[in-house]
Chains A and B, each alone.
Chain A
């Protein structure tokens, strides 16, 4: 418990340092553009792949569970749409990105710490926390919502393809279901969650890397911890945000 408070306190102080006034604006813009590529574009592939398969599985599972002939078959399309939008495109994608992006960030910053590159920045009077972490936060917070939107479309498409190819549902019924009783607010809810998750993934992983001590082994540990802790915090905030936004 004392350790938890210690980490939370040090995390808050680190974030304060990250958001204290950056020095040369231009440098940050370039860094952020670079990070958009590393953190953002390079994650499109994995998001597309998992979303297709998730959409497909949701559709098939819903179809196999809907044996009752009284329930209209287009509900399969509706179920796929809502599951993708409400939960999978933000939370599951967030967890996968915590694995991909989070471990990357922790090992990059952790390596810079143990090889004294962070000290080298500090001795030049550079706010290393802000210089290294802020561009990553900006890039993720800006780009992850696009990943979520991509995931929604691709997932629903995957569901449609799986449903139609296996004969579980007709194309028309699925599309009717996808359009039926659409709640735009769910998309807003998903995007807000995504922005929060993006911040969690980058800041928690950067924290683990920034305070890494030792050598290559510790960098590996920091990277594992980054994935575990950012995933846990994502799951926690998923509950909190859901309670705040969807509870009636």
Chain B
């Protein structure tokens, strides 16, 4: 469980996050949704300490991450796995070496154990056959899967995904979404996913937090979201003709 208490962040004069309070639950897929530029990435990077918050604290299962020094944070970071928006694979390393990287940094395993673990993770995302390829040689969806394999290499307790579906076609997106959901359930991780993709929301939105211009305006589940009375959220969900059509039909049904 990650307990976010009152965090705020500004860049120069620009307020990007305002007094965010939220709890991300263990064993669930927690979604942060909102338009581009609403502050999702800044919020996620604040959670993991890539961005220092101006105010507030972030508590990881009772441990106050915000108050820790570099060394103490490193201990908690061993329990993090993060998938960045573009995958952020290391260009100079092949797929297998990318997955081995965190193992080499953190793990005390022997060399062959590390290799086994890396192969296991690649198998988990169905990419054993691509182990020797370089990031420049694989598709966007494969990059995301390698990034997922790298993120789960150390058996993390907390998983962070920044727009895991950006740049992917709807079918590949659903494969990735379901992979994230399965991993979350299998390993009981606290999983946080940034997205602006309504398909993902309906597919895996167990807990949803809506961010609008740096404010948390709404939270709930995918079952509540269609009936929310938050106007900004409705504008966000029903932005397209397609979703408006769905809404009309839902109303007709009920």
Contacts and interface: CB of A to CB of B under 8 A. Distances in A.
Pair from one complex: yes
Interface of A: 111-112, 115-117, 119-120, 122-126
B85 A116 contact: yes
Nearest to B106: A124
Contacts of A126: 105
B140 interface: no
Q: A-side binding surface: helix, strand, loop or mixed?
A: helix
B82 A125 contact: no
B77 A120 contact: no
Given A116-B85, A123-B50, 5 more contacts: A116-B84, A120-B88, A123-B77, A125-B73, A125-B105
19 contacts: A112-B91, A115-B84, A116-B85, A116-B88, A119-B45, A119-B50, A119-B84, A119-B88, A120-B82, A120-B88, A123-B48, A123-B49, A123-B82, A124-B77, A124-B101, A124-B105, A125-B73, A125-B106, A126-B105
Nearest to A27: B104
Interface in B68-97: 70, 73-74, 77-78, 80, 82, 84-86, 88-91
B220 interface: no
B102 interface: yes
A117 B91 contact: yes
A115 B86 contact: yes
Nearest to B105: A124
Interface of B: 45, 48-50, 70, 73-74, 77-78, 80, 82, 84-86, 88-91, 101-102, 105-106
Contact of A122 (B50, B91, B101): B50
Most buried by B among A116, A117, A120: A120
Contacts of B89: 117
A125 B82 CA distance: 13
Contacts of B73: 125
B152 to A, nearest CB: 14
Contacts of B74: 125
A119 B47 CA distance: 13
A112 B93 CA distance: 13
B84 A124 contact: no
A52 B82 CA distance: 52
Question: Shortest 4 CB-CB distances between A and B: which pairs?
Answer: A125-B74, A116-B84, A116-B88, A120-B88
Contacts of B106: 124-125
Contacts of A124: 77, 101-102, 105-106
A116 B106 CA distance: 20
A120 B85 CA distance: 11
A123 B73 CA distance: 10
B24 to A, nearest CB: 17
Contacts of A120: 82, 84, 88, 90
Contacts of A125: 70, 73-74, 77-78, 105-106
A125 B72 CA distance: 10
B102 to A, nearest CB: 5
Nearest to B70: A125
